[in-house]
Amino acid sequence: MQTKLTRTSPIASLKVSNIRRLLLSGVLLLNLLLPSIAQAGRGRALFSLDTVAGTPFPSDLFAVADPTQNTGLRVNLPKPDCLARPSDCQDLDVINTLDGFNLQPRLSIPFDGPIDVTTVTSETVFLISLGDTLDPSDQGGHRVGINQVVWDPATNTLHVESDELLDQHTRYGLIVTNGLHDPGGRRVEASEAFRRFRQEVDGDYKHALLKTVRAARHVGVDEDHIVTASVFTTRSATAILEKIRDQIKSATPAPADFNLGSGGARTVFTLDNLTGITWNRQTGANPPRFTAGQLPLSLLQIIPGAVDRVAFGKYVSPDYMVHPGEYIPPVGTRTGTPQVQGTNEIYFNLFLPSGAKPAGGWPVVILGHGGLLSKNSVPFQVASTMAATGIATIAINVVGHGSGPLGTLTVRQMVGDPVTLAAGGRGIDQNGDGVIGDNEGHLAAAPRIISDRSDGTRQTVVDLMQLVHVIEVGMDVDGDGVGDLDPSRVSYFGNSLGGIYGTILLAVEPSIRVGVAGAAGELIESFRLGGAGNRSLVAGRRFLAARNPSLINSPGITKLNGVALAPPYFNENLPLRDGVSMTVALEDGTTRVVQSPVINAAPGAMAIQEVFEHFEWVSQSSNPAAFARHLQRSPLAGMPQKSVLFLFAKGDLTVPNPTTTAILRAGDLADRTIFFRNDLALAEDPRMSRNPHGFAFAIADPSALAREIARGTQQRVALFLASGGELIIHPEPARFFEVPVLLPLPEDLSYIP
């Protein structure tokens, strides 16, 4: 007989009470596990000590100690494969000489998955100041929000802009909180690497990070709400020009020379005796080639009899730029000494008023011309108005402007022989193509392309500081041994590029207390947003297409807010501030609205955004916004507050409104503005230009209304300067102006197609 073996089930052997007890325990265990199961799917903010892409950026993790710098640091970003990406490596060679990070930083925060971008606000992501590295008493505490949100799904990285221009050589903490949510509505949490770093790792960076956490607590953010953070130090922007200014002021320059004619003939002329001035511009090299034209003498008679004499002179100025290359070598911002590389003869045009000279000499305004122009054009447009108010006008060429150095001026007179003198051009054939462009020599050459206009602009400021010092030692125009210009009443007026370097000059030159900057803006953003050629010629060709490898992507933007652009086309997919929308047309025929927050879907856009960030970072030493905060709000050491006025026009295509408002925000200068409403003027007279960039200088415009607006603006500028900056009078026709600009500041483009 076969025996069948059976196995009794354990459950079957349990009593009913035990079964109930086991089931209850299982339910309790499941309830305990559910939160952990739910949390397992939460997004995490990344943190790393090793890679730029794996941690919040900027971060002092990517800097090294350098006691020669104001910040005690020098940037030390890792390089990519330089054979594959040579342009990136060239850029980093320049960036890695800086003593800190961008004053208007692009903040990048990586995650391990997607987030809900609608939860990205200045409450959930923000900066907090930890103090000035040069001022031990500054404990920081100022909170700064964010703007211009971009989410990159390809890398799960959040990019935002600082809502304010940050203070120079100052440490900041970047705080990211669990107020950010993932797409499922769950709070983002900290990574294990961030928790471990705070608990286990020691060192200076940890202590700085803990200081950030404590600072966040003071503004109401608990430590357990912080999911990732970084600490970074902003670069110095003004230090080198301050050092150079002190060098200039410590020396005594030779007097200005007015004997520029053949055989040392004096080059001072009575306007009524002039019949014409021929400018023989050097426009080519190897062999030299010239293009002749006439200077606009008739503009000096816009107000008949206001200008008495026209003088041409020169002075010697220290050159801090290396040639070839056109750059200023970096030195430590704390202990370094800028080195003079040579000297330049700087030529100037001077226009003296009619009437009896005041006892101390004529008040004088330095006139700053714009890009691609020269001392032989723009000053003629304003000298008559200034002279009618008793102000002399003096102007030099910007570095790289005024055509080549072999050009001449030939002055023809009713009584007396013609006099030929050097025109004082500062252009060069930098690229060796035999042509001297209108600003060739102003920009840095390869491999320092990223420096762009920074050093040419700073050298121009140096030349103007030297000009002020030459006026201070006595500028004897008529040769009687007495100075003809009043060194205590030197003012400034410039437009476009002239407004940009003029803002810088006003911040660092103590002897100029009054100034007017027209159409000034952040240069890099002007190139990106400009609808008047800058976007294609500068941003497209120089910044992107010329790179190796090229960053031109497709489909590119062909229209900005209805204004047609020129190729090369590209699409950076970067929004304006404050959620302001921008309509773009693309090469593929589609139209889209770019508005923060942006979820990027444009291939190649993120690489372009990074390049623009790097250019902006390097340009801070010549960024007018970085200097604007030192005009009134926080003057540099030893500097008085300045009385300033900013002119700008709605819908400026060359220097777009958001680039000017950046200056006004940085310096708290909205109340020091004259805002021209070109939209209203164009509605009244269709002959008005759709680009009002030079509205204050259009005294010879075909439109009678444009001429009236230009004269009215210039008269108010002259009265402002003559009053020592006390009088701000509404220009006529008053219906076209806001004085000051009505708030909120215009952050849109307002282009008129």
Average pLDDT over residues 254-275: 97
- What percentage of the chain reaches a pLDDT higher than 70? 94
pLDDT at position 35, please? 39
Average pLDDT over residues 139-159: 97
Q: What SS3 class is residue 174?
A: strand
pLDDT at position 203, please? 86
Q: How far is CA 581 from the centre of its chain?
A: 22
pLDDT at position 14, please? 33
Q: What is the DSSP string of 8-34?
A: --HHHHS-HHHHHHHHHHHHHHHHHHH
Contacts of 591 (CB under 8 A, 6+ apart): 583, 584, 585
Rounded to an integer, what distance in angstroms lies between the CA atom of residue 639 and that of residue 641?
7
Using an 8 Å Cβ cutoff, are 599 and 153 in contact? Answer: yes
- What percentage of the chain reaches a pLDDT higher than 90? 92
Higher pLDDT, 34 or 157: 157
Average pLDDT over residues 505-534: 95
- The angle that helices 454-473 and 239-249 make with each other, rounded to 10 degrees, is 30
Q: DSSP H helical segments within 74-124, as ranges?
A: 86-95
Task: Report which DSSP code applies to 338.
Answer: P
Average pLDDT over residues 414-439: 98
Average pLDDT over residues 120-133: 98
pLDDT at position 200, please? 78
pLDDT at position 16, please? 35
Average pLDDT over residues 729-751: 98
pLDDT at position 198, please? 81
With cut-offs at 50, 70 and 90, classify the pLDDT of residue 532: confident
pLDDT over 50 at 76, yes or no: yes
pLDDT at position 23, please? 35
**Mean pLDDT value across the chain:** 94
Rounded to an integer, what distance in angstroms lies between the CA atom of residue 621 and that of residue 617?
9
Please provide the size of the chain in residues: 753
Contacts of 521 (CB under 8 A, 6+ apart): 499, 500, 624, 655, 656, 659, 660, 662, 663
With cut-offs at 50, 70 and 90, classify the pLDDT of residue 10: very low
Rounded to an integer, what distance in angstroms lies between the CA atom of residue 7 and that of residue 706?
105
For 91, phi and psi rounded to 5 degrees? -60, -45
Q: What is the DSSP string of 509-521?
A: -TTEEEEEEES--
Rounded to an integer, what distance in angstroms lies between the CA atom of residue 215 and that of residue 748?
34
pLDDT at position 678, please? 98
For 437, phi and psi rounded to 5 degrees? -75, 170
Q: What SS3 class is residue 132?
A: strand
- The angle that helices 704-722 and 378-388 make with each other, rounded to 10 degrees, is 60
Domain boundaries, the chain: 44-233, 239-495, 528-602, 623-738
Using an 8 Å Cβ cutoff, are 447 and 436 in contact? Answer: no
Rounded to an integer, what distance in angstroms lies between the CA atom of residue 313 and that of residue 347?
6
Average pLDDT over residues 679-698: 98
Q: How far is CA 77 from the centre of its chain?
A: 22
Residue type, 278: T
Q: What is the DSSP string of 52-84?
A: STTS-BS-GGGEEE-TTSTTSEEE-PPP--TTT
Contacts of 440 (CB under 8 A, 6+ apart): 400, 427, 428, 429, 430, 431
Could you report the per-residue pLDDT of 332-361, keeping only the tens digit for each?
999 999 999 999 999 999 999 999 999 999
Give the angle 686-689-695 at the CA atoms, nearest 5°. 125
Rounded to an integer, what distance in angstroms lies between the CA atom of residue 285 and that of residue 303?
39
Rounded to an integer, what distance in angstroms lies between the CA atom of residue 560 and that of residue 537?
15
Residue type, 421: L
Using an 8 Å Cβ cutoff, are 632 and 509 in contact? Answer: no
Three-state SS sequence of 546-586: CCCCCCCCCCCEEEECCEECCCCCCCCCCCCHHHCCEEEEE
Span of 8-22, 599-613, 671-685 with lowest mean pLDDT = 8-22
pLDDT over 60 at 18, yes or no: no
Across 336-349, b (16+ Cβ under 10 Å) vs e yields bebeeeeebebbbb
The CB density around residue 666, as the number of other CB atoms within 10 Å, is 24
pLDDT over 50 at 674, yes or no: yes
pLDDT over 80 at 22, yes or no: no
Going by their DSSP bridges, the two strands 362-368 and 392-396 should be labelled as: parallel
pLDDT over 90 at 17, yes or no: no
Could you report the per-residue pLDDT of 273-302, keeping only the tens digit for each?
999 999 999 999 999 999 999 999 999 999
Query: Would you state the structure tokens that stand for residue 420, as one six-digit string?
Result: 């030929």
The CB density around residue 551, as the number of other CB atoms within 10 Å, is 20
For 508, phi and psi rounded to 5 degrees? -115, -15
pLDDT over 80 at 24, yes or no: no
Average pLDDT over residues 216-229: 96
With cut-offs at 50, 70 and 90, classify the pLDDT of residue 408: very high
Average pLDDT over residues 481-488: 97
Q: Which CATH number fits domain 44-233: 3.40.50.720, 3.40.50.1860, 3.60.20.10, 2.60.40.1220?
A: 2.60.40.1220
Using an 8 Å Cβ cutoff, are 216 and 173 in contact? Answer: yes
pLDDT over 80 at 667, yes or no: yes
Q: Which residues pair with 174 in a beta bridge?
A: 127, 230
Closest C-alpha to 474, from 345, 610, 344, 313: 313
Residue reference for tokens 């919040």: 56
Across 512-546, b (16+ Cβ under 10 Å) vs e yields bbbbbbbbbbbbbbbbbbbbbebbbebbbeebbee
Phi-psi region of 261 (alpha: psi -120 to 50; beta: other; left: phi over 0): beta
pLDDT at position 41, please? 64
